Every structure is written in C-alpha cells, then in structure tokens.
A and B are shown apart, each in its own frame.
Chain A
C-alpha cells in the first residue's frame, strides 16, 4: 500500500517536472474523491464509424477497493467495458461486467487491453473536442470523466504511457 502511494507521489513529481502546473491542477481538482480518471482520451475516428474506443488511467487513492459496474455518456448510445485479448496471434474482444480498482492502486485502460467501447456516437467528434463519460461504481457513486478527442498519432499521449 505504501509502495503504491509512493509510486503516485513519484509520478506526481515526474509530472510536475515534465508538464508543470497541468498535473497539479488535476490532483487538486480531484482531491476529496477516492477514484479519479487521468489522461482520459478518445481516439479521433472519421464520421460514419459507429464504434469508438476510450482510454484512461483510473487511480484509486482510497483505502477500499472500488468496482466500476457501468459506464455512460450523453455523447453515445451506450458504453461497454471491453478487453482485447491477443492469444496465439488471434485477437478477440470480450465484454466484461465490471472492473475492480484496488485500494491505493490503478487500472490502465490502454490500446490492445482493457478499453471502453463507445457505441453509437450521438454527435460528430472533433479533434481536441471533449467527451463526457460517467463511471458508475458498485456503491452508487458516480465519477465524471472529461476525455479529450485526439488523433492516435498525436505525440501527446506517448509521454504518459507507462
């Protein structure tokens, strides 16, 4: 537990050194809630595509596990929790019911792994636009996430991959 906390501190310091005030703002703004989503993004997709992906790091700074049991967005018909599995060089996508974020831990939603499947966009996506995503927790709590729409080749996100 202590190690995870130190890890968070260390990352905060790295972030501080690299991007200055930005991460500090995130940390301050999210203080008081046990679960936060960081670096949430939705890869830009051309109009007409009915299925998009959502990625983020979910950090649990609380002392109890949190379980994400549902995801919603006013920008999409519905959202599913999915996991891509590449096994024996064959790629499969599995819908999953819930994602547990351990106390003082983190869960990565990242390409070719755990991801949000955003189905049926209700309005056109624009690069640098925002998508509102709501994570529903098993305790009834909701976590608001603002994901940025970004091209996959945008250099910005690689700096944050762990």
Chain B
C-alpha cells in the first residue's frame, strides 16, 4: 500500500514536470535587418483565380512551401499555423490576422488535391501553385528553396523544401521567418510583437 502511494507521488511529480516542460515558450523567429520586397510572380490559387505578388499586399501573410504528397512535416506545420492564428486572434485585431498561404511546389501532383489539402486545416487557408518558373520566382521572393528529386522505378519522387514560414508584411515585403517547432502560443506572441512594432514604426508616416 505504501509502495503504491509512493508510485502515485512519483506519478504526480512526473506529471507536473511534464506540464511545466510543455509550458516553456519556444519560438525560432528571425526578423530581417532589411525587409525585402517579394518580386513579381503569377500563380493560381486553389480556386483557379490568379494569385500574384500583389495578392500579398494589404494584409499580413504567412507563406510556407510544401507539397500535397508530404504527409508529415507539411501537415504538421499547417496544423500548427492554424493554432497560431487562433492564438493570434486573442492578441491582435481581426484585420491584422495573417492570411496563411501554402505554396505548392509540385504542381502536377498538387493541383487536383490542393484545395482539399489546404482547407482541411482552415477554410481561409489559401493554396497556390502554377508553372515551375513562377513557383521558383515565388520561392525566391520568400527566400525559400524546393528541390524535386528524380522519380524512382515506381514513378515516386521526394521533394525537399524549406521548413521555415515566411512572414510578409502588408506592403508585400518579407520581414521575418519562423522555423519549427511553431509552438502556437510563443509563435503567436512573436508575431503579435512584430505586427505591433511595425505598426508603431509606420505611425509617423500616416500622420500621427
């Protein structure tokens, strides 16, 4: 009986330690010294409507590169971004919430499933893809890479791509990058601080 009680105490302590560890804030965010304007590209969104560099303007955006045959890292990131945006909703005004954009780099395989793949995480997420040269221009704009490996005997091939999420400001400029693990609360706080800081920096220009 005593032994059992000891075990329960150990269990309680272990549970408390686990809980505390989970609560430790972790965010891998880097703010660029100089924002860089995303250069022109022309892609289509998952509804077939044109999506260009100008589509990034007027709101904050979180852009990640990936492909729909990616079962592990891409869904993990998208699911986390959904939670990040939900957390941000507690910290910033609705009009400052970022648009999440999934840049699909494997267009032949991505096109048929892009909408289903993206909206499973949130109905407002946008999947974009198009011609390889335009995808590459968009990748360059967000300082990301994607390499499509040669197909194997079964016609399967792997795609290697940047794991970071690009943060684009309402002027269409790359201003920051976030890398995994994208823990929702600290990542949301990082973004809220960034948005706040940029808004304050711009305040004199807008005549205040």
Are B113 and A46 interface neighbours, CB within 8 A? yes
Nearest chain A CB to B86's CB is how many angstroms away? 10
8 A Cβ contacts from A46-71 to B: 46-53
Q: Determine if B82 is an interface residue (Cβ-Cβ < 8 Å).
A: yes
Q: Determine if B163 is an interface residue (Cβ-Cβ < 8 Å).
A: yes
Are A92 and B160 interface neighbours, CB within 8 A? yes
Are B10 and A10 interface neighbours, CB within 8 A? yes
Nearest chain A CB to B158's CB is how many angstroms away? 6
Alpha-carbon distance between A16 and B18 when the two chains are bound, in angstroms: 16
Q: Which residues of B contact A44 (CB under 8 A)?
A: 120
Alpha-carbon distance between A17 and B18 when the two chains are bound, in angstroms: 15
Using C-beta atoms within 8 Å of the partner chain, give the interface range for chain A. Answer: 35 or more
Q: In this complex, which of A53, A82, A91, A115 has the most chain B Cβ atoms within 10 angstroms of its Cβ? A: A91
Quick one: closest B residue to A109, CB to CB? B72
8 A Cβ contacts from B141-167 to A: 145, 156, 158, 160-164
Are A111 and B72 interface neighbours, CB within 8 A? yes
Quick one: closest B residue to A52, CB to CB? B71
Q: Which residues of A contact B61 (CB under 8 A)?
A: none
Alpha-carbon distance between A45 and B113 when the two chains are bound, in angstroms: 11
Contact with A along B114-128 (1 / 0, CB 8 A): 001100100000000
Are B73 and A45 interface neighbours, CB within 8 A? no
Which one of A13, A118, A153 contacts B11 once the chains associate, using CB atoms below 8 Å? A13
Nearest chain B CB to A153's CB is how many angstroms away? 6
Are B14 and A10 interface neighbours, CB within 8 A? yes
Are B162 and A93 interface neighbours, CB within 8 A? no
Nearest chain B CB to A116's CB is how many angstroms away? 9
Given A10-B7, A10-B14, A90 and B83 touching (CB < 8 A)?
A: no
- 22 A-B interface contacts by CB (under 8 A): A14-B15, A17-B15, A45-B75, A45-B120, A46-B113, A48-B112, A48-B113, A49-B113, A49-B116, A51-B70, A51-B71, A53-B75, A89-B179, A90-B161, A93-B72, A93-B160, A111-B73, A112-B76, A112-B180, A115-B71, A117-B72, A152-B75
Q: Which residues of A contact B (CB under 8 A)?
A: 9-10, 13-14, 16-18, 43-53, 82, 84, 86, 89-93, 111-112, 115, 117-119, 152-153, 162
Known: A46-B120, A153-B79. 6 other contacts (CB 8 A): A17-B11, A44-B120, A53-B71, A86-B179, A93-B158, A112-B181
7 closest A-B pairs by beta carbon, nearest first, are: A46-B116, A53-B71, A91-B163, A152-B79, A111-B76, A13-B11, A92-B160
